[in-house]
Structure 1
Amino acid sequence: MKILITGVAGFIGFHLAKKMIANGHDVIGLDNINDYYDIDLKYARLKELGITRDEASFFKNISQSKDLPNFKFIRLSLEDRNNLPTLFEKEKFQIVCNLAAQAGVRYSLENPQTYIDSNIVGFANILECCRNYNINHLVYASSSSVYGLTNKIPFKETDVVNTPISLYAATKKSNELMAHTYSHLYGMRTTGLRFFTVYGPWGRPDMAMFLFTDAIINSQPINIYNHGKMERDFTYIDDIVEGLERVIEKIEFKHGPYKVYNIGNNSSIKLMDFIETLEKNLGKKSKKNLLPIQPGDVEKTWADVDNLINDFDYRPSTPVEKGIKSFVKWYKEYYNII
């Protein structure tokens, strides 16, 4: 198939592109390489895909990977409603996987307009392109944050999610509503995946795994919110990618054109246990700075993945011990730490 992956210089998009390329699909990766976090990491991911920094620096140019004949890259923003349709018209994609978004719960408290532009306007542009250019299937990233202030554990897709507590969460819920509307009105197949705390090699520097590792190695204190009374359904990147792979490559669906799935490890790990495992892998204890819970945070997440199991015969299963070990190994190699 010919697949467009947006957010390809991002954490999940990079890993998915590698998998889809290895599976023999023709992949075009799109990213605007914004500076929300270290752009050197984004360029390093693209380098792994055979795209040089110079090639990735120019907007609207399509670059052919030097190492991977079935991968091309274009630097473009989802908000660009002039050039995005041109790309769709030229390339004639069959599948679109939209992973591009302004990420981060806490950043949305300070820069709300950025989230409206990227996550609402940008997603609307993707939907319009999919409608106008007869895309077979739109797969898109949602988030566990849509569950907001729910007391029902574990989180199930049939739960009412009308109480988001961050603008980021509200934009992700909006994406689901917009996708449902397009599926209903135009018969478009859309599948949303609610990701639960994704971590692993090449991860995002703004997330706990990366922040904690960096601080511990550099003998700096780590900020632990809600005084450590937090639990998360930590999901290893390879499990996320396999879930995406199964959704993208599945030909027949039992349900109608619209569906949303949780994709998590189907368990909840105490944050303090997660930190202890990280300390063991680093061979070093952390200095802990215990703080109150932050606005936009929830105390616990836990994904019910029964629908994923029933429809795709798949359950994420990587133990957190294995995932943390893999991340620490990558981190030390990437930053040349002996």
Structure 2
Amino acid sequence: MGETSRVEREESALAQAGEFGFIARLTDRLAQGPGVLLGPGDDAAVITAGDRRVVASTDMLVEGRHFRRDWSSGLDVGHKAAAANLADIAAMGGRGTALLVGMCVPDDLPLGWAEDLADGLAAEAAKVDASVVGGDTVSGPTLTISVTALGELQGRAPVTRDHARPGDVLAVAGRLGWAAAGTTILSRGFRSPGALVSAHRRPQVPYPAGPVAAVLGATAMIDVSDGLLADLGHISARSQVAVDVDRAALEIPDQMRDAGHALGVDPYQWALAGGEDHALVATFPPGTELGPEWRVIGRVEAGTGVTVDGLGYAGQPGWDHGRS
């Protein structure tokens, strides 16, 4: 027999350590960066705000809806929870500086799994030199992780969703459809291709591309959390413009094409309507010289709504949080 994993050996997290011991076990694992003046252990943390403005975003992950423990390790879920929030900061043209984490902890959660979660949160935050500076826990029936991200604009104006203009080019940084393909693969009972399954577990967010877009003069930007078409719908509505996606400009890797063929799914469906890759999509004035982080996938036009090759999209454009 192989060795029993640490998670399998552990007792229930809160039962073993108690609330304050549980918090201490997690916070002891969290290194604090130079921007943290006061970290975990007091009533609140104190962090620096470089230009006296703070960008803030919050998001929740609920077991069974956003992740499954039989699909993802605690380390995976930590990366995923942090990425979902830090991507929002990048989508404003900012850089994440700190995370606050709240957890609803069920009786069956092993302490080892929770410690792995803390390690994943810290490792993802470290990608942008951010720190996990505090949080709270409560016991409850469903494992729920709530993360609030704080960030800074480094002296720049925030890039919002409401300044796209007809004639702008539409560009994306990062991957589209990978996480959705991985979710479909796992839901069918498979574990490969590994690259697609890993994308579901740990999205690869192009964090530096957000501030780069701000410097380049992006007129609107959003992260792709619910699906490319669904999220472009927010830019369309806020900017009162039409957005058209060039289907041929979307990158569909061979493994995604092969997986789509094997599972009977059009891989473009994953790229157009799949979320949780947390790619960044932005609009830029015509003639902007985009760097290697960004590739053009469409255009902004007069009108309303989001189209693909000039036509309406027949399928569901992305994840709808109001649906079961």
TM bucket normalised to smaller: under 0.3
TM-score (norm 1): 0.25
Question: Which structure is higher in helix share?
Answer: 1
Question: Which structure is higher in strand share?
Answer: 2
Q: Which has the higher contact order (CA 8 A, sep 6+)?
A: 2
